[in-house]
Every structure is written in C-alpha cells, then in structure tokens.
Amino acid sequence: MILKGNTRTGAANLVNHLTNERDNDHVEVHTVHGFASTTFADSLYEAEAVAKGTKCEKPFFSLSLNPPTHASVSERDFEDAIDQAANALGLEGQPRAVIFHEKEGRRHCHVVWSRIDAETMKAIPDSFTRYKLQDVSRALFLQHGWELPKGLNRDERGSDDNTSRADQEIAKRTGLTLEDHKAMMGDAWGLSDDAQSFAAALTECGYILGQGKRGFVAIDIYTSDAHSIPRRLGMKKREIEAKIGKPTSLPSVEEARIMAEDQRLTIHETLNQGKPKTPESSTKPAGQKALENLKKAQRQERAALIATQKAAESAQEHSFVQKLFGHIKSSWDTSAAKFEALRTKWTKTLKGQKTAEEILSARQMQTKTHQNQQDVLRQSHLKARRRLQPDLLIQRKAEREKIIFERRRLVQTKDLESRKEAIRIKFEQDRPKGLER
C-alpha cells in the first residue's frame, strides 16, 4: 500500500480534517493508544499540550495508508503495516490514534503519532521519512503480492503525478481537476503569439495573467488561486519568455487578485439580478442524491449492528458474573471486603480457574464473531457504493465540462467587456519594448 506522511502542527486542523464526514462516506475511529484521553480529538489536544513543554513546532507525524484499488485489506493487515512504518520511523511505542476513511468505494487509513518522547521531552527526529516510507511501502506490495506502481518499481520510471497538497485544495475549491486547468491554459497558450493575446485568451477562460516571484502566474477569477504558468504548461520559464517576453508590465499577484475580486463581484451581481434562489438540494445530480441516500442508509445499518452487538456483550457479561460469583450470593453481607475475599479465594480454585478460562474463550469468540459481522457488512457496503462509481464519474465529468463552459461564458458578459478592454489598453500602453517579439 502507498504510505505518505509528514510532520504536522495544529491539533484542531488535524481533528477537523480527519473526522470530516462531509468529504468521506464513512469515518471510523479504530484505536486510541498511549494517551490519557480516550477520544480521537482529545488525544491530539493532549499531545499538543505536552509539546508545549518542548521546543518542537510540529509535534505530530501524520501518515496515510492507501491500499490498491479494490484490494481487500483486513484491519490486521493495516495494523501490521502501521507497526512496520512505526519501526522504520523510530515511532514504535509512541502514542498514536488510528482512524479509517471510506471514500469513492475504497477504504484507507490515517495514523497520527505524537513525536514527543515523554521520558526525555524531546521530539523524535523526522529525517529521511520519505525514503523510509518508500521502503516500507515497497515491502508491503511485495508481501501481499500486489503489482508495484511505477513510483516504487526501481526498474521503471516514476510517476509524473507530483500533485501537492496546495494543488489538491485548488482542485477541491474550483470543482475542476488540475488536468482541466492545464488543458484550458494549454489551449490559451496554443492560440497566442504574444503576451497580450495570451492574457486575453486566459481571460476568456477565467484567469488574469500576472507576474509572481518566479515568473508568469494565472489568477483564477472565481477563487483567486494562483497557478504557476510554467508548471501548468509543463515548460521552462525561459521557453515561455522566448515567446511572449518577460512579465515586467503585468500586475502583481496582489493586484491581479484585486482585479479578480472586482470581476467576481460583477459576475455575481449579474447572475443575481431577477433570478430566484434555487435550493441546493434540488440542483444535485441524481447520482449524487443516490449516493447520499445510500450513505445515510448504510450509516443507520452500521449503527444498528453496533447497538445489537453491544447489547449482546452486555448480556454475556451479566451471565459471566452470575456464573463466576452467583454461588457465593448466600455469603453476601454488608461487608464488601468479605465478598472480595470469597471471590478471590474461589477464583484460585481449580473449578474457578476453569470457569475463568471458559469465560475468556467465550469473550474472544464473541469479539471475533462481532468483528467478522462488521467486516462482512463493511464489504457489502463498499461493493454497493462501488457500483455507483461509474455513473458518478460520468456525472462529475459532465459537471466539470459545465463549469468550464460557465467560466468562459460568464467572463464574456456585457458588463465585463469594458473592464477587459481597459485592461488590454493599459497593458498595451505600459508594454516595454522588451516584450516585443
């Protein structure tokens, strides 16, 4: 399975991110180990409080474990992988919290360790974690007989997908994948022969061309996100400057964001004139509604199973107490100490030891049975949601195409034409000779 981890700070952000049920189908706290607290959130706040007694600025190590798509991985397999990662990172024995996510028909795991050694009150080093995790990940693929991805296969070229966390957040905010942004900017680049035409083409796609610290940037009109032009086009800075010159006369990132906000407000005013507000639920695609209804039903089904299992465990525990200590009820009096002495004496007898062993065996059997029931239900739920994925992918693609169409349409509204023309005129007036082809 793919392991990705880094040191983190901010317990509140980690709690909000990892317990977020809005972006996940199901969220399940698996274990909280080594903390005085018993809940996931409180354990991270506890670790953050402990770290305040040190100079460590990033007291957490957050790790995600992603098995291959459609691979059936048990909780025991996840726990073994977590232990191997802890040994490689030097975090064995450290307090940790484990949480499972189910999303888009697959199940993956997140682990958060406290890096603070309670005895020395020093942070455990975090050097070379990427290479250590790659070695563990490669070993896990070989151990389970899974096909090695390019990034882990030493005989093949690594994957070109180096999506950063910031890029993932941009994709989430805009509703478009990075490939969609790259495609729009690539089209604008192909239709341009100088900086002015490139700026105009980008504006038609919903971007404002500006200059950043390292060259050309495109500011998204709708979110104010900054996209590096060389990175999105897959080109070097000097290759871009050879075609359209240097970005010396372009607005800075801050100025471009002000312009983007101005255009965004104008677009919103245009859209809201004389149009009734539509409830959000009525605009959701049919596939998304079906998925949400399925998630709701599955959560209720899981809650019902857990409630039934807890009731069975409670009933069994009561029968164990009766079996162990029911025979000494006649000896019960107001002295708790006397009852405790009788109980201790009886449990040391041969019959008492045999009964205790039977009870322990029954408890283990019940725990295993309940775990199997949860696994079976979880797998059936995953299969049900996987059946919806093909339709959801088609709908999401259609939604992205609609967003791209709307981006192009909205920036061409009548109210914006004068603004765009003013930008072009200003650009032409301020354009130095160095930008000429």
Q: What is the pLDDT of residues 394-408, one digit of tens each?
A: 777 787 777 777 777
Q: What type of residue sits at position 410? A: L
Percent of the chain with pLDDT over 70: 76
Residue 385: name the closest of 107, 106, 105 by CA.
105
Distance in angstroms (rounded) separating the CA atoms of residues 331 and 348: 18
- Residues 111-133 have pLDDT tens digits of 999 999 988 999 999 899 999 99
Which residues have CB under 8 Å from 280's CB, separation 6+?
none
Distance in angstroms (rounded) separating the CA atoms of residues 267 and 276: 16
* Orientation of helix 286-325 relative to helix 389-410, angle to 10°: 140
- pLDDT of res. 111: 95
Can you say how many angstroms the Cα of residue 106 is from the centroid of all Cα atoms in its chain? 13
CA-based Rg of the chain, rounded to a whole angstrom?
30
Write down the residue that tokens 């309940």 correspond to.
370
CA distances from 300 to 290, 295, 319, 385 (A): 16, 9, 29, 15
Can you say how many angstroms the Cα of residue 423 is from the centroid of all Cα atoms in its chain? 39
CA distances from 259 to 60, 215, 251, 387, 428 (A): 39, 19, 9, 44, 17
- Residues 326-342 have pLDDT tens digits of 555 544 444 556 656 66
Residue 29: name the closest of 101, 89, 83, 130 by CA.
101
Provide the whole-model pTM: 0.62
Residue 360: name the closest of 320, 311, 319 by CA.
320
* Range scoring the smallest mean pLDDT among 81-95, 374-388, 420-434: 420-434
Indicate the DSSP class of residue 435. Answer: G
Mean model confidence pLDDT for the chain: 79
Torsion of CA 24, 29, 33, 36, to 10 degrees: 110
Distance in angstroms (rounded) separating the CA atoms of residues 183 and 165: 20
More confident residue, 69 or 6: 6
- Three-state secondary-structure class, residue 191: coil
Residue 255 · residue 241 · CB < 8 Å? no
16: buried, middle or exposed (CB in 10 Å: 19+, 13-18, 0-12)?
A: exposed
Please name each of the domains of the chain with its CATH number: 2-144 (3.30.930.30), 166-275+412-435 (no CATH), 286-387 (no CATH)
